[in-house]
Amino acid sequence: MKTSKKIALIVGAAVVLLVIVVVSIKQANKNVVTVQTGTVAKQNITSLVTASGEIRPEDYTNVLGQGFGKITDIAVKEGDIVKKGDVLLRVESIQPAADVKAQQAGIDSMRASVQSAQAADVAAQADVQQAEANLEKARSDWERGQGLYKAGLIAKSDYDSYKSAYGAAAATLAANKARAKQAHDQLNAAQFNQAQASATLVHLRDVLNKTTYDAPIAGIVTYVPVKVGENVVPGIQNAEGSFLLTISDMKVVNAEVMVDETDVPNVKPGQTADVTIDAYPGKVFKGKVADVGEEAILRTSGLAATQETSANSQEARDFKVHVRLDDPPKGLRPGLSCTAKIRTAHRSDVLTIPIQALAMRSRQELQADQQKNKSGNGVTLAAAKLAVNSDGTLSNDDIQGVFVVRNGKAVFVPVQTGISGITNIEVTTGLKAGDVIVTGSYKALRTLRSGSAVKIDNSVPSLSNQSAS
C-alpha cells in the first residue's frame, strides 16, 4: 500500500473518531443546563425603602398680599435673617392714612356731641326731679284745701285754685319726663354713633397697618419674587393674594420624600434613615421619620386622591413622608433635591439568598416534574414536601421557591421569605445553611425544571455573553 493511501486512511479514521467523540459529548450534555450557583449563608440583613424628594423647613411661611396698593419699599433681600416683627416691605399708605385721620376727627366731634347729650340728659333728669317735688307740694295743698273746703273754712275759688295748681304740676312732670326720655335717647344715639365710628376706625387702622408687612416668624428670607413699584392684590374667594416673599426657619429641616404606596405600610415614625443631598455629593446625613402622610397623592398631578375626581384608578400613587435631619448642614436651602433610604426592618444572623434566586412555578409544572422523576426517566431526587389539597393537587396555583443543586440536578424547593435587603432576601423556611442554590442566569432560572441535570459555571460572563442573555 502506498504511503499516501495509508495517510489518507489514518486521517479518515481520526476524523470519524473525532465525530464520534463530539457526537457522544453533545448527546451526553443534550439535556444539561449550565447554571450559576451560590451558597445559602447566615448574615445580617436590613430592609430599606428608598424615596426621592426635596429639602423643606419644618416651619415656613409665604407672605401674601392683604390689600390693594403699590409696593414702595422692600426692606429685606434673599438670605437676610429676620426676627419676628421685623419690617419686610411697605405698600403705599396715603389714602389709608388719610382715612384714619378723617375718621379720628369725626370721632372727636362725636365725643363732643356725646358730652353735650350727657349734659342735656342730666339737666332733663333734674327738671323731672324738680317737677316731682312741685307735684308733691301741689298734691299736699289740694288735699288740705279739700278738708278746709268741706269744713267751710275757705271759699270755692280757693279750692279751685288748689285743684288747678295740682293739675298743672302733674302736667309739668309728664312733660319733663318726656323731655328727659328724649334727651336720654339722644345720648344713646350719640354713644351708638361714636361706637360705630370707633369700629370703623379699627377697620381703617387695620387697613393702614396692612400697608406695612412684618415678619410673622423668625427665620431666613428664602425667596423674594416682587419688585418696588409692583401692585399688590389681596386674596378673594378661592384666589390667593399676591405672593410677596417666603421666610423659612431652617433650625428644623425635613427631607420631604414621596414613598410608593406599596412601600408605605412598612414606614413608621421613628425609623432611622440616611439622606443624601445632591448639592452635597459624597455626604450622608442621618435622620428619623417624623411623620407619614395619611392620604395618597397622585404622581402625575401632585393632588391628593380625594381632590382629583377624574383620577384613573390605576394611576401610580405616593405618600408624603417627612424625614427630620439630625444635624442639617449650614447654608442648607429649601428645595434642594434629596434621596432618603429608610431602614424599615433589620435581622441579625439569618439565612439569606440573592433575590434573583427566587423563582415561581405553577402547581401543574411541579406535579409534572414530580411524576417524571418518579417514573424513572431521571434520577429520583429528595425534594421538599409540597403542600397538597385533599385531591392531591398543590394548594397554591403559584409556588415560590429556589432550585437546590443535589446530585448534579436542580430540585425546586418551596421557601418562605422575610424581609428584603438591597440584593438579598431573608429565608425563614425551606433551606439550611450550606445549601447550594441556582442563582442564574436569568434565562436558566426562567426555563429550569425541577430534576433537570445542571452544569455549574461560576465564571464571570463576558460583556458579549451578558448582552446575548
Answer yes or no: is pLDDT of 230 > 90: yes
Residues in the chain: 469
pLDDT mean over 118-130: 91
Lowest mean pLDDT: which of 68-72, 293-297, 389-393, 443-447?
389-393
Residues contacting residue 397 through CB under 8 Å, at least 6 positions apart: 362, 363
Q: What's the pLDDT score for residue 469?
A: 46
At residue 468, does pLDDT exceed 50?
no
Digit-coded pLDDT (tens) for 3-13: 666 666 666 66
* pLDDT band of 378, cuts 50, 70, 90: very low
User: Which pLDDT score, from 0 to 100, does residue 381 have?
Assistant: 40
- Tell me, what's the pLDDT at 301? 81
Residues contacting residue 118 through CB under 8 Å, at least 6 positions apart: 187
The predicted structure's pLDDT at residue 376? 53
Least confident of 38-42, 145-149, 409-413: 145-149
Among 88-92, 94-98, 278-282, 387-391, the minimum mean pLDDT is found in: 387-391
- What DSSP letter does each residue of 321-373 carry, written as one string? EEEEESSPPTT--TT-EEEEEEEEEEEEEEEEEEGGG-EEEEHHHHHHHHHHH
CA gap 413, 398 in Å, rounded:
13
At 163-177, the pLDDT tens digits run 888 889 889 989 999
Closest CA to 67 of 200, 210, 246, 225: 210
- Evaluate if residue 125 carries a pLDDT over 60: yes
**What pLDDT does 372 receive?**
76
What is the chain's mean pLDDT, rounded?
85
pLDDT at 202: 93
The alpha carbon of residue 146 and the mean position of all alpha carbons in its chain are separated, in whole angstroms, by: 95
Mean pLDDT of all residues in 156-162: 84
* Alpha carbon distances (Å) from 462 to 33, 34, 229, 459, 467: 18, 15, 67, 9, 9
CA 295 distance to own-chain centroid: 8
For 315-354, what is each residue's pLDDT tens digit? 789 999 999 999 999 889 999 999 999 999 999 999 999 9
Residue 161: predicted pLDDT: 87
Q: What is the pLDDT of residues 386-404, one digit of tens each?
A: 555 555 454 557 899 999 9
**Over residues 411-439, mean pLDDT:** 92
- Amino acid in the structure at residue 275: V
Closest CA to 347 of 424, 400, 284, 275: 424
pLDDT of residue 375: 62
Judged against a pLDDT cut of 70, whether residue 187 lies above it is answered with: yes
- Percent with pLDDT over 90 in the chain: 53
Cα separation, 469 vs 466, in Å, equals: 5
